[in-house]
Amino acid sequence: MATTRSLLTSKRFAIFSIVTICFVLQLINSLPGINLNGFGIYPRSINGLIGILSAPFLHGSWWHFASNMLPFMVLSWLICQYSVKRFYNVFIFTALVGGFLVWALGRSNIHVGLSGVIYGLWGFILCYGVIRRSFKSIVIAVVVALLYSGFVWGVLPQRLHISFESHLFGALSGLFLGYKLAKSDKLKSRKTRL
Of 37-51, 146-160, 166-180, the least confident: 146-160
In the predicted model, what is the mean pLDDT of residues 4-8? 60
Q: What is the mean pLDDT of the chain?
A: 93
In the predicted model, what is the mean pLDDT of residues 39-67? 96
**DSSP at 109:** S
CB count in 10 Å sphere of residue 157 = 12
pLDDT value at residue 8: 58
Q: List the alpha helices (DSSP H) in the chain.
A: 2-8, 11-29, 51-54, 62-80, 84-105, 115-132, 135-147, 151-154, 164-193
Question: Do the Cβ atoms of 15 and 76 come closer than 8 Å?
Answer: yes
pLDDT value at residue 147: 93
Decide which of 180 and 159 is more confident: 180
- Look at residue 6 and tell me whether its pLDDT is greater than 90: no
pLDDT value at residue 159: 81
Tell the burial category of 40 from Cβ atoms under 10 Å away from its Cβ (0-12, 13-18, 19+).
Answer: buried
pLDDT tens digits, residue range 105-144? 999 999 999 999 999 999 999 999 999 999 999 999 999 9
The b/e string for 137-150 (b: 16+ C-beta within 10 A; e otherwise) is: beebbeebbeebee
DSSP 77-108: HHHHTT-HHHHHHHHHHHHHHHHHHHHHHS-S
**For residue 111, what are the β-bridge partners?**
41
Query: Domain spanning 2-193: which CATH class is it, in words?
Result: mainly alpha
pLDDT tens digits, residue range 23-36? 999 999 999 999 99
Q: For the chain, what are the domain ranges?
A: 2-193
Q: CA 189 to CA 13: how far, in whole Å?
A: 29
